[in-house]
């Protein structure tokens, strides 16, 4: 067999469960041989390339329980298969959690947002081009990284948390949800568990094959955002080469509670600089009690990139990250 270029969907089974129990049972039964299909925007490429070969797809979008945006006692709950377009346009989100709505509106292109779901955007695989080419690198179960070597083309890769693999988190909504201190609801045939958004994503040191804590048989079914961060002051920005159909070179999501001109509490997160959305804890604590001003911005920006380990081509992400932090703090 030759590693030639493929472009056609190979034979693969499809299940379209309409109720939760059925879907979870299928997920358990199929295990790693099953592929969770939501909007499919990070599915068909893998399959057409024949780079990943699941035996069956389980479509999650027919389960109403996992759709929609509901108010709850302490905040809101968003079904994981709610489309990004719905999230970007939802009045409730726009009024209280504009950060997430804005982030969702920045994803890819209109047509992709029309079918792409929140769950899909959170669970999507990394865009490292070596990995996407179907190479058997660490992340694909291999034994080396093609992107972290003396001559590799790694402009889009990680500044932090690299462990053999230097791929980064591709999601725009993930940093927003970490900034909003969201909780992920994970269901499986054996029950339900919840995980903080921050802990939902895992780096290569913990598990080089997966980007989330999801185990075979588990499904991300909902995301809960606490009221605590409703109507905070938000800042989101995505810097990419193109304004459509592109992944962030760096993106930032910040939520700040400001009173009396001073920042009481802040959560700041950068995407595309590490395998997981990176919390800027040192910045968060440094801005506490300070005003949202140019001076504060200048003082704290450098903290954001402490410990950065640039690769061949991504040094620019260091000043870019600092600048984005400045913009977030400055407001």
Q: Looking at residues 29 to 58 of the shown chain, list those that interact with other proteins (rule: CB under 8 A).
A: 29-33, 35, 37, 40-41, 44-45, 47-48, 50-57
Angstrom CA distances, 44 to 5, 55, 244, 305, stand at 15, 14, 20, 36
Applying CB under 8 A, which of residues 72, 144, 192, 231 lies at the interface with other proteins?
Answer: 144
DSSP symbol at 189? T
Q: Which is nearer to other proteins, 25 or 92 (CB)?
A: 25
- Residues that bind other proteins (rule: CB under 8 A) add up to a total of 101
Least distance to other proteins from the beta carbon of 233, Å?
A: 19
Backbone angle region of 134, left / alpha / beta, with phi > 0 → left and psi within -120 to 50 → alpha: left
Residue 148 neighbours by CB under 8 Å, 6+ apart? 154, 157, 162, 164, 165, 166, 311
| Distance in angstroms (rounded) separating the CA atoms of residues 280 and 304 | 6
The structure tokens listed for 116 are 């792409």
Q: Which of residues 147-166 bind other proteins (CB under 8 A)?
A: 148-153, 155, 162-164
Q: How many CB atoms lie within 10 A of CB 115?
A: 15
Q: Which of residues 95-114 bind other proteins (CB under 8 A)?
A: 109-112, 114
196 binding other proteins? (CB under 8 A) = no
Q: Which of residues 298-317 bind other proteins (CB under 8 A)?
A: 310, 312-316
| Distance in angstroms (rounded) separating the CA atoms of residues 140 and 204 | 12
Q: Which is nearer to other proteins, 29 or 77 (CB)?
A: 29
Q: Which of residues 202-221 bind other proteins (CB under 8 A)?
A: 202, 205-209, 213
| Distance in angstroms (rounded) separating the CA atoms of residues 3 and 232 | 51
| Distance in angstroms (rounded) separating the CA atoms of residues 117 and 94 | 17
Q: Which is nearer to other proteins, 256 or 297 (CB)?
A: 297
5 binding other proteins? (CB under 8 A) = yes
Q: Where does this chain touch other proteins (CB under 8 A) — which range of 94-102, 125-133, 182-190, 262-270?
A: 125-133
Q: Is the Cβ–Cβ distance between 128 and 211 less than 8 Å?
A: no
Least distance to other proteins from the beta carbon of 284, Å?
A: 20
Least distance to other proteins from the beta carbon of 63, Å?
A: 13
CA 28 vs. chain centroid, Å, equals 24
21 binding other proteins? (CB under 8 A) = no
Least distance to other proteins from the beta carbon of 72, Å?
A: 28
Applying CB under 8 A, which of residues 249, 253, 280, 304 lies at the interface with other proteins?
Answer: 249
């Amino acid at each position: 067999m030759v590693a030639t270029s493929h472009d056609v969907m190979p034979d693969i089974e499809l299940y379209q469960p309409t109720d939760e129990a059925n879907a979870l049972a299928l997920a358990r039964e199929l295990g790693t041989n099953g592929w969770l299909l939501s909007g499919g925007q990070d599915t068909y490429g893998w399959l057409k390339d024949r780079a990943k070969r699941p035996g069956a797809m389980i479509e999650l979008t027919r389960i109403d329980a996992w759709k929609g945006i509901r108010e709850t006692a302490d905040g809101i709950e968003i079904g994981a298969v709610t489309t990004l377009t719905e999230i970007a346009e939802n009045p409730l989100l726009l009024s209280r959690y504009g950060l997430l709505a804005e982030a969702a509106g920045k994803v890819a292109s209109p047509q992709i947002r029309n079918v792409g779901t929140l769950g899909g955007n959170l669970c999507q695989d990394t865009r490292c081009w070596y990995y996407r080419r179907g190479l058997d690198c660490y992340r694909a179960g291999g034994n080396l990284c093609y992107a972290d070597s003396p001559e590799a083309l790694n402009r889009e890769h990680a500044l932090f948390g690299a462990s053999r693999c230097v791929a980064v988190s591709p999601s725009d909504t993930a940093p927003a949800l970490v900034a909003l201190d969201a909780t992920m609801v994970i269901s499986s045939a054996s029950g339900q568990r919840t995980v903080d958004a921050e802990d939902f994503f895992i780096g290569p040191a913990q598990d080089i094959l997966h980007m989330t804590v999801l185990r075979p048989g588990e499904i991300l079914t909902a995301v809960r955002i606490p009221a605590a961060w409703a109507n905070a002051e938000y800042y989101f920005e995505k810097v990419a080469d193109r304004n459509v159909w592109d992944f962030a070179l760096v993106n930032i999501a910040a939520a700040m509670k400001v009173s009396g001109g001073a920042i009481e509490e802040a959560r700041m997160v950068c995407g595309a600089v590490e395998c997981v959305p990176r919390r800027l804890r040192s910045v968060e604590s440094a801005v506490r009690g300070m005003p949202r001003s140019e001076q504060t911005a200048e003082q704290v920006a450098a903290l954001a990139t402490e410990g950065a380990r640039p690769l061949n081509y991504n040094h620019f992400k260091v000043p870019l990250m600092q600048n984005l932090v400045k913009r977030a703090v400055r407001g």
